[in-house]
Structure 1
Amino acid sequence: MALLSIRGDWYLYIWLIYYRKIYSAVIWLLGNHCRGDKSRSVISASAGGQSLASLHRVRTRRRKAQQLRNKHVVALVRRPSLRRIVMAPGASTAHAMMEDKEKALTNVSMRRRRISQFAPLLIALVGLPARGKSQLAHRLSRHLNWNGESTKVFDCSEYRRRHMALYGSHDIFRADNLQGSAIRRQSAREAVQDAVLWLKDGNSVAIFDGTNVTKEQRRELNECITDMGFRILFIECVCEDQELLERNIIEILHYSADYKDMTEEEAVDDLRKKLEHYMRQYEPIDGSLEALSFARVENMGDTVTAHKVSGQKESGILGYLSGMRALPQTLYFTRHGESEYNVLGRIGGDAVLSPRGERYAHGLAKHLNEMAAHEAFTVWTSELRRTKQTASEIMAPKRAIRALNELDAGICEGLTYEEMQERFPQEFAWRDQDKLRYRYPWGESYIDIMTRLRPVLSALEDEHNVVVVGHQAVLRCMLGYFLDAKLDELPYMNVPLHTIVKLTSYGYKYKVEMNKLPIECVDTHRQQPKNCSINRTTDDALVTVPSHYDTLPSNMWQNSEAQL
């Protein structure tokens, strides 16, 4: 019966549907009309106010309904159970992996953002023994210290030797040697701890000289350093050049403390087996698997590649590594012969050689010309007359370099120390207080010399058999660089006249030989006085001034002139 009643009133349902459509159309037209121009509206003020109020209520209800729907949609999307329902079969695992990867990348990026580019830097070396890691570490340390970055090398081998009274054999480097592995891990841990303390004390760079041959070692070190807020750069040393590799091995055998009590045959056999142990454990750095900032140096600078390297210090380090070469060196340094200003005790200027200085020029030329018969060399001089005169008789190519000119004394050029004390006692005292950083008025300081010597030293590191004929302050800085002297010691290094200083490289160190020719000269070396106050007396200020013509007994100069 109900079905028949519904079937008989079918026209009523059709009419209701049709009427609803007409009602909706009328409401839409009224809405558009009310939103139209007011000049076309003929609705009274009371009726218009009622229509606008009703439309405002409708829009408010629609806006709240839309916000509610959006809220429910967002809540549904955020619910993990509903997300898994709408995902395709088998996609949940992949989605979870993507979430984990995004979370890891977010953590890494946030960690990197927290570390400032000006934060202290730890450099960790990676590679097999005899690949030049120690040489690179110490050369890089010397370069960074010279450029004002307080740097120190922490050698893992030195820490290992503290735990062993005497090096036994290669067995300590076996992976299955539990006791040896424990000693090596403890040594690496102590080296890193000291490096961290060095950085926390306000220093710029620490270099961790170790092998770090496994991914696990590098991962732990990277996490430890970055969690402390320091930057870290790995440098992997690779050597495929057999000649370079053999030279590195020979240096290890000759200079390593591990082999000083072994015969040559025992040392060679032990080092060979040690290399085999490390090669079994070695896992080269893979940028696609390890989230590290690293550089790879092949054959000590022949090829340098970088991966995710950023930062001011790191960029400067890459520039130095790309120009580095591992060649044996022999360098010669000598001051010009005694000049007329040296005799008179005057500083700076462009004086010519004294008679004894000319004798030194002859003796230097004879000494070097005999050496040139066996091996070729070049001569570098400054642009001042006294260095060119000293090198004039040397039979070798010469190059005058402006950066090798003597320190510019500004308004004090050509003065004696006595005259400086008389005219500028305050300046003289300030210079004695900090000779390294003191700058003469309108002149230079030792720091200025170091700055202009940077390109010269970079070029000299790649040269062999070079003779540098220079000046006292300049040679102090150059010798201090190669001997890795402390900066405050540079102004007081003793570089006497008429002396040839020979530097011979072995590994990352230099052997020094002093050869003084038998030709008399004045002593221009002045030590720092104990009293550096600006209120000191003249006698206190001049107590360490070296003797010169005006202060030496006249009979001494008469005897000297008679000999000439």
Structure 2
Amino acid sequence: MSTENEVAEIEEAKIPGNYSARKIQRWNPSSIYATNIIHNNFRNNVKSNDAIHKNLPVNHVSPAQMYSTDSGRMFHAGSICIIMVGLPGRGKTNLSISLCRYLRWLGVRTELFHLGDYRRKNTDLNKETDLNFDKLNSNSYFSLQPENSNIKNLKSKIKSELIEDIIGFFETSNGQIAIYDAINGLSSERKRLLDFFKSKNIKCLFIESIIDDVELLNENIRDAVNSPDYKSWDSEAALKNFTNRIKANEAYYEHLDSKVANLPFIQSYNFGEKILINDLKHDFLTTKIIYYLLNAKIKSHSIYFARCSLNKLKFKDDPPITENGKVYINKIYNTLASSFTDQKIPKDLVVWTSTRLRTIQSSQIFKNAGCTVRHRPELTQLNPGAAEGLTDQELDEKFHESYVKHLSDPYHHRYPRAESYHDLALKIEPLILEMEKLSHDVLIIADETIIRIFYGYLMASNANDIPLIEFPQNEIIKITYHTYNNEIENLVVDGIAKE
């Protein structure tokens, strides 16, 4: 029995990095993943192309990461290889990239390993031999059971390179989840992968994408011919070639089977319409993956971002829209309309704003055009707290210690009674999942602080860059989903100051 004088002692952690992240503070600036102090003269525009296919740099910090560790890994999740399964044209690549984007957002060190990239790399080095792309087609490379022995050896070599890189990702890059994107259509092959990764203390999760909706399948096949394989191809020839590729696999393809002992898998039908799971332990990451798959859709639409008017207001102020604000939103409306083929705002456009009065009133023009308008409290701008309205010099004088911390980590730091960008990222996660479910264009009218967070998700940004990204008042930002990456375009709004 305990007594009043007994004092419980905290056992020293076996993994110091994880312990220091919990014991000292949630974000550990001494971590090898923390950035150096950001100088004021670096506050330029750091917008860039989609970084989802770039290898994670050692100093990458994820926007919605829940805690930091010196290893950069979630200490309770282990190493997982997600092995995609499915016939060509079933959205495996689209799903792999979307899932990678979401997992990185959550702070899971995740990398993509597309078998097609490895094949293209090998065949590009041998354009004058039997290994070039056209010859591969004629030699039935894309069959699950090719008859040509040279093709069999080549496929084995390419897969070995990919698996070797996966192991290197786990062993030398602090990797946590590798996503292996390929058909993986034979039960015997999947069993070998399961046994091999188990011998390396890496868990496997098989995800099969099944599409039995004919309309959805045809749409997905049309999208698949935009693959890098068909860069210089005529669209009809590419479609015919890809269709033949599907037929070459159908004869041998085997679906995931629950009768195979200890095979952990998820079968997703028509992108989340129905999900079957087998032999899964519902740990944190597995649960997150299942929930994401229930929300993920094939995406080829665009997300538009426009800043709201009256951006100089105090956080608690909530006045109605001004005359200048009405002029501004009309110009936003007309610029956006002119970007569509028929020069009209489509009625299936979904508009999101915050619950502030001026943004609600700003959206009325879109409601009048027949669009669905939704007001989300999560879209309220970052609360600056006690720092509101103060210059850098005043912040330094009034909150010197806090100001120095802010310079070191402007993404996670909060001034007194304020929010951080990290707080915003956690707050809008439900909206990100809702956005993943939509298949129509979305316009988000919000403060620049909110746009930065959404941009960080859609373009796989390092969290440390997000506070520095500039979105001028006179631009609508258009981010379009594509199978392999998201693309950004700036639509300039005439007659509006840049600010």
Query: TM-score, with normalisation over the residues of structure 1?
Result: 0.67
Q: Which one has a bigger Cα radius of gyration?
A: 1
Residue number in structure 1 paired with 2:192 = 220
Give the Cα separation in 1 of the matches to 2:394 and 2:291.
46
- Given that residues 91 and 220 in structure 2 are in contact (C-alpha distance below 8 angstroms), is that contact kept between their aligned partners in structure 1? yes
**1:372 Cα shift?**
5.4
Moved more, 119-128 or 164-173: 164-173
The answer for the alignment partner of 1:229 in structure 2 is 201
Are 1:259 and 2:230 matched, yes or no? yes
| Contact preservation (8 Å) 2:222, 2:239 | no
Match of 2:328 among 350, 356, 360: 360
Identify the match of residue 350 of structure 1 among 317, 325, 346.
Answer: 317
SS of residue matched to 1:468? strand
1:397-416 alignment, distance < 5 Å? 397-416=372-391
| CA distance in structure 1 between the aligned counterparts of 2:299 and 2:236, rounded to whole angstroms | 26
Note if contact 1:340-1:351 (Cα within 8 Å) is conserved in structure 2: no
Q: Distance in 1 between matches of 2:468 and 2:101?
A: 19
How far apart, in 2, do the equivalents of 1:286 and 1:405 lie?
47
Offset at residue 487 of structure 1 (A): 2.5
User: CA offset at residue 385 of structure 1?
Assistant: 4.2
Question: Contact (CA 8 Å) 1:241, 1:299: kept in 2 or not?
Answer: yes
Offset at 1:400? Answer: 2.0
Please give the per-residue CA displacement for 1:409-431, whole angstroms capped at 9, x wherever unaligned.
12112333343233223322321
Q: Secondary structure at the match of 1:438?
A: coil
* Counterpart for residue 534 of structure 1: none
Q: Distance in 2 between matches of 1:522 and 1:511?
A: 22
Say which is worse superposed, 178-187 or 378-387, in terms of deviation: 378-387
C-alpha contact (below 8 Å) 1:144/1:151 kept by paired residues: yes
- Report the counterpart of residue 52 of structure 2 in structure 1: none
Q: Aligned partner of 1:213: which letter?
A: G
Match of 1:182 among 141, 153, 158: 153
**Which residue of 2 is the match for residue 420 of structure 1?**
395
Give CA deviations for 1:261-287 in whole Å, capped at 9, x if unaligned.
332343233222222221222122211
Counterpart CA distance in 2 for 1:264 and 1:400 is: 41
Structure-2 residue corresponding to 1:77: none
Report the Cα distance in structure 1 between the residues aligned to 2:337 and 2:236, rounded to whole angstroms: 40
Secondary structure of 1:379's aligned partner: strand
Name 1:118's counterpart in structure 2. 77
Contact 2:295–2:436 (CA<8 Å) still a contact in 1? no
1:220/1:161 Cα in 2 relative to 1: closer, same or farther (>3 Å)? same
CA RMSD of superposed structures (Å): 2.4
Match of 1:384 in 2: 356
1:104-129 deviation line (CA, Å, top 9, x unaligned): xxxxxxxxxxxx96211110001111
1:164 maps to 123
Q: What is the alpha-carbon distance in structure 1 between the residues aligned to residue 398 and residue 485 of structure 2?
A: 44
Structure 1 residue 355: Cα displacement: 6.7
Aligned to 2:22: none
2:92 to 119, 127, 133: 133
**Which sits farther off after the overlay, 269-278 or 292-301?**
269-278
User: 2:141 is paired with a residue of what secondary structure?
Assistant: helix
The one-letter code matched in structure 2 to 1:408 is: N
The alpha-carbon distance between structure 1 residues 387 and 209, as it changes in their structure 2 partners (threshold 3 A), is: same
CA distance in structure 1 between the aligned counterparts of 2:212 and 2:101, rounded to whole angstroms:
26
1:392 Cα deviation after fit? 4.4
Alignment of 1:327-346 (within 5 A): 327-341=299-313
Is 1:480 matched with 2:456?
yes
Query: What corresponds to 2:17 in structure 1?
Result: none
Counterpart in 1 of 2:110? Answer: 151
Find the aligned partners of 2:238 and 2:344 in 1 and give their Cα distance: 37
Separation (CA, whole Å) in 2 of partners of 1:422 and 1:369:
47
Shift of 1:292: 0.8
Q: Separation in 2 of the partners of 1:121 and 1:195?
A: 10
1:195 is aligned to 166
Equivalent residues in 2 for 1:279-298, closer than 5 Å: 279-298=250-269
Q: Secondary structure at the match of 1:232?
A: strand
1:248 aligns with 2:215: no
Cα contact 2:299–2:482 (8 A) shared by 1: no
Separation in structure 1 between the aligned mates of residue 469 and residue 154 of structure 2, nearest angstrom: 41
**What residue in structure 2 maps to residue 142 of structure 1?**
101
Matched-pair identity in %: 25
Give the match's secondary structure for 1:172. Answer: coil
1:530 maps to which residue? Answer: none
Which residue of the partner structure matches residue 38 of structure 2? none
Partner of 1:19: none
Q: In structure 1, which of residues 210, 217, 222 is the aligned counterpart of residue 182 of structure 2?
A: 210
Give me the whole-angstrom Cα distance separating, in 2, the residues matched to 1:411 and 1:478: 25
Aligned position for 2:421: 446
Retained in 2: the 8 A contact 1:382–1:400?
A: yes
The one-letter amino acid paired with 1:333 is F
Q: What is the distance in 2 between the residues matched to 1:184 and 1:257?
A: 19
CA distance in 2, matches of 1:497, 1:240: 45
Q: Which has the higher contact order (CA 8 A, sep 6+)?
A: 2
Unaligned 5+ runs, structure 1:
1-115, 342-346, 524-564
In 1, the alpha carbon distance for the partners of 2:216 and 2:373 equals 30
**How many angstroms apart in 1 are the aligned matches of 2:337 and 2:244?**
47
> CA separation in 2, counterparts of 1:381 and 1:223?
50
Tell me how far 1:453 sits from its aligned partner.
Answer: 0.5
The residue matched to 1:211 in structure 2 has which SS? Answer: coil
Instruction: Tell whether the 8 Å contact from 1:360 to 1:390 is kept in structure 2 after alignment.
Output: no
The residue number in structure 2 matching 1:317 is 289
Structure-1 residue corresponding to 2:495: 519
| 3-state SS of paired residue (1:317) | helix
- 3-state SS, counterpart of residue 122 of structure 1: strand
| 1:386 CA drift (Å) | 4.5
Deviations 1:53-96 (A, max 9, x none): xxxxxxxxxxxxxxxxxxxxxxxxxxxxxxxxxxxxxxxxxxxx
CA distance in 2, matches of 1:518, 1:231: 54
Q: Deviations over 1:333-390 (max 9, x none)?
A: 111125344xxxxx75537677755531231244457765543323211123453354
- Which residue does 1:455 correspond to in 2? 430
Distance 2:92 2:177 in 1: 16
Output one character per residue of 1:299-358: Cα deviation in whole Å (capped at 9) or x when no partner.
1211110000113211221111122222542322111125344xxxxx755376777555
Q: Secondary structure at the match of 2:123?
A: coil
State the Cα distance separating 1:207 from its structure 2 match.
Answer: 0.5
Counterpart code for 1:222: L
Return the structure number with greater helix share.
Answer: 1
User: Is the Cα contact below 8 Å between 2:387 and 2:395 reproduced in 1?
Assistant: yes
Amino acid at match of 1:506: H
Q: What's the secondary structure of 1:237's corresponding residue?
A: strand
| Pairing partner for 1:507 from 459, 483, 490 | 483
Q: Which residue of 1 aligns with 2:18?
A: none
**CA–CA distance in 2 between the matches of 1:351 and 1:160?**
57
Return the TM-score normalized by structure 2. Answer: 0.75
Q: Secondary structure at the match of 1:179?
A: helix
Q: Which amino acid aligns with 1:167?
A: F
User: Using a 3 Å threshold, how does the CA distance of structure 1 residues 122 and 490 change in structure 2: closer, same or farther?
Assistant: same
1:436·1:491 contact (CA, 8 Å) conserved in 2? Answer: yes
